[in-house]
Amino acid sequence: MIYWMISLLAIPFFSFLTSQKLGSKAPEWATLLLGLNTLLAIYLTATHWNSAALTMRGHWFKVGESQITYSFLLDRLTLIMSVIVNFISLLVHLFSQEYMRKDKAKPRYYAFLGLFTFSMMGIVLFNDLLFIFIFWELVGLSSYLLIGFWFEKKSASIAANKAFIMNRIGDIGFITGLMILYTQFQSFDLEVIKSLMIDSEIKDGNWIAQFTNNGQVIINTLDGRWLSAAGIALFCGAVGKSAQFPLQVWLPDAMEGPTPVSALIHAATMVAAGVYLLARVFVILDAQALEVVAIVGAITAFMAAIAALSQFDIKKVLAYSTISQLGYMVMAMGIGAYTSGLFHLVTHAFFKAGLFLSAGIIIHQLHKLESKDVMFNAQDMRVMGGLRKHMPKTFFCFLIFALALAGLPGFSGFLSKDAILLDLAVWADIKGGGFYIPEVLAFGTVLFTSFYTLRMILLIFFGNFRLPVIMKNNELSKELKDGNWIMMAPVILLAGLSLGPVFGLTLNPEHSWFVEAMPTPIYLVPAIYAAKSLVNVSPETFEALHGLVNAVSMGLALIGIVIGYLAYKPNAKLEQEFVERREPRGLLGQVSFYHWYQDAFYTKAILKFVMLKAQALSWFDKHVIDGFVDGFAKSQVIFAHLIKWFDRYFVDGLVHLTVLTSGRIGQLTRSIQSGNVQAYILTSFVFLILLMLYLVF
């Protein structure tokens, strides 16, 4: 069994390792490997859907007394996520074969896609928070590598940095949460944490956990507030990864990456990892943490929907739309609507990936019109218009995706959004008071969503094709064609999956197979701290509000559509002057376009100080530390000169002295030999006489 799960991880990793080496064959190879992985995921789902959840645990390493383990979990959530991740990754691989056909760095691209899929599968398969964190970081790395894929472009590498750094800021919270949980439970394994959480209790405001570890009974006590803190801290990780307020500013900039990357990572999978994490730790979040989650989610959804209203760039609209929908999912988790949140995750993955891929087709086809005389930004909606006639298949699919996004009946988005809104209404009624604000924000977002969706459709597909008029070249209009089958197939497939009947032949989300398959779990947090679970609310309450919620949300969506149509229909005033628009108009326009001035705020308030500190540290490094090193080097050189002097005059001098002395002595003794034989004779006689005198006397 474990081999299947390891294969699910190993195949994308193998793709990562080998794609770079394969050069021009990389796209086909990577697509093949991912197709294999998708089949494996589907097979596992088919065989294990109705089985009980499977856990596999193993030891990794030991530090002193603490044992670090790893564990895999195979339950329905894992199966759904692995199918989604692999399937959308496969479609992106296929789509990229055409989209990136002319790019020279294709092997690197496919290698990184493989790395991403591997990391995402890691998050999904492991049930151990430490390992989820490891793969969390890997996913962030893959995102960085792929956003900055065209790193020669300065804006792309800056955007990649931004994404990674904001992710890391969120990870500070994630790590804090891990630390709190480990302090209390001495394990990272979610099963262990969950079971110990059930046994823990709150007494006099203290959170006490009691368990046995290696035969020893351990009682850990923390202040009760740490329980909420752990939940909020883990949520911080999701804030960073899933682009929630206040860390959502990286996602619009991440659109610098190739469009298929945006489809895979920043629409369907990576940003959903935060929601997935919330789903996994759902049962150990207490009421306080859940309130925070819900409010942040609602705020994010609202802010992003407003930001999408005035954008020119098609990918930016989709990016803000993603942030907004993620806000919905996070909010759903926060109000206890586990099932609805996951439902929306799944439907959103399909239609948002579809939206991005269709946008990719449009951008790709427009790029083909570029030449040295004709230069324009292919992502700018101001050059589009009337593409319905040129790209009918793309238009049809885009329409399906957009209607799913707006949440109109008959499409998958309707079911999931309706589920969330209903749960939200019930929650707001239970909580009362200020908690109606998230409800207002969420319903307001419905209005804006349908507005900006219709705005997008009208500006891109209706009216006249604006590019020939701008470029004064009517030939361009004839050259624009629809995408080829490699690009259309994934889009058509996703369009099929965005239709309502895929999730149930019903207009009531309760009867969808998804809702029945993924029930909301009960909270395992000690009862005093636990939130009131929606599971415990009677179905009658839900029924009573269902009609009202439906009516209001439908009404708002239709109002949004009507306003959008009136504003942007062909030959309307706004539509006519859209092509000339360079600056956003009015306060709402400016707040929307500049994304509530968050970037400006961060740059002025935070970035300035960080850069100052970085410059100060750089100065310190260059002058003090390097100065110290240079000074040390210089003093060494001086010391070396001193030693040289000493060596030359003293040590060598000693040697010279010795030599001189020997020489002189030698000369002295030599001088006795004069070569004069007569002197020799004389000397020898003298000594002979002396000797005889000595002998005689």
Partner 1 sequence: MPFDYLLFLGALLFCIGLFVVVTRKNAIMVLIGIELMLNAANINLIAFSSFDPNALQGQVFSLFIITVAAAEAAVGLSIVVKVYKYFQTADLDKINELKG
* Residues at the site binding partner 1, with contacts judged by CB under 8 A: 670-679, 681-682, 685
3-state secondary structure of 72: strand
Nearest distance from C-beta of residue 673 to partner 1, angstroms:
3
The three-state DSSP-derived secondary structure of 589-654 is HHHHHCHHHHHHHHHHHHHHHHHHHHHHHHHHHHHHHHHHHHHHHHHHHHHHHHHHHHHHHHHHHH
The tokens describing 423, both together, are: 């749960």
Q: Three-state SS for 302? A: helix
Task: Give the nearer residue to partner 1 in terms of CB position, either 655 or 681.
Answer: 681
Strand partners, 218: 211
Q: Which amino acid is at 96?
A: S
Dig out the tokens for 233 from the structure.
């801290």
Decide whether 668 or 695 has the Cβ nearer to partner 1.
668
**Full DSSP string of 11-64:** HHHHHHHHHHHHGGGHHHHHHHHHHHHHHHHHHHHHHHTTSPPEEEEEEEEEET
Q: At 271, list the tokens.
A: 């940003």
Rounded to the nearest whole angstrom, what is the least distance from the CB of residue 677 to partner 1 in the complex? 6
CB of 658 to partner 1, least distance (A): 22
Please, what is the minimum distance in Å from the beta carbon of residue 675 to partner 1?
3
Provide, rounded to whole angstroms, the least separation between the CB of residue 670 and partner 1: 4
Structure tokens at 433: 């008071």
Q: CB nearer to partner 1: give 677 or 695.
A: 677
Phi, psi of 558, deg, nearest 5 = -65, -40
Half-sphere exposure of 647 (CA within 13 A, CB side): 6
CB of 573 or CB of 664, closer to partner 1: 664
> How distant, in Å, are the alpha carbons of 380, 460, 560, 682 from that of 314?
6, 9, 19, 125
Nearest residue (CB) to partner 1, 154 versus 670: 670
Residue (655 or 688) nearer to partner 1, CB: 688
DSSP element (H, E) containing 570: none
Q: How many helices (H) and strands (E) does the chain have?
A: 30, 5
Q: Which is nearer to partner 1, 433 or 675 (CB)?
A: 675
CB of 690 to partner 1, least distance (A): 15
Q: In this structure, are strands 201-203 and 66-74 parallel, antiparallel, or unpaired?
A: unpaired
Taking the least distance from each CB to partner 1, the nearer of 576 and 674 is: 674
What amino acid is encoded at 88 in this protein?
A: I
| Spatial distance between the Cα atoms of 381 and 465, rounded to a whole number of angstroms | 10
Nearer to partner 1, 214 or 669 (CB): 669
Q: Which residue has tokens 């062909």? A: 570
Residue that the structure tokens 């701008």 belong to: 470
Buried b (16+ CB within 10 A) or exposed e, 94-104: bbbbbbbeeee
Helix 287-307 / helix 225-241 crossing angle, nearest 10 deg: 20
Helix (H) or strand (E) holding 223: strand 216-223
Cβ-based burial of 584 (10 A; exposed 0-12, middle 13-18, buried ≥19): middle
Alpha helix positions (H), 432-538: 436-461, 466-471, 475-479, 485-497, 513-517
**685 or 687, CB closer to partner 1?**
685
* Residue number with CB closer to partner 1 (562 or 682): 682
The least distance separating partner 1 from the CB of residue 687, rounded to whole angstroms, comes to 14
CB of 695 to partner 1, least distance (A): 18
Q: Which is nearer to partner 1, 213 or 684 (CB)?
A: 684
54-63 and 66-74 beta bridge pairing: antiparallel
**Which tokens is 399 given?**
């329409």
- Residues 525, 415 contacting (CB under 8 angstroms): no
Residue whose CB is less far from partner 1, 536 or 676: 676
Tokens read off for 579 = 């092509």
Nearest of 546, 541, 290, 311 to residue 438 by alpha carbon? 290
Q: Which is nearer to partner 1, 24 or 678 (CB)?
A: 678
Q: How far apart are CA 349 and CA 343, in angstroms?
A: 10
Q: Is 521 exposed, middle or buried (0-12, 13-18, 19+ CB in 10 A)?
A: middle
Nearer to partner 1, 535 or 681 (CB): 681
Q: In the bound complex, what is the minimum distance in angstroms from residue 649's beta carbon to partner 1?
A: 34
Distance CA 524, CA 194 (A): 7
CB of 666 to partner 1, least distance (A): 10
Q: Which is nearer to partner 1, 472 or 670 (CB)?
A: 670
**Beta carbon of residue 659, minimum distance to partner 1 (angstroms, whole number):** 19
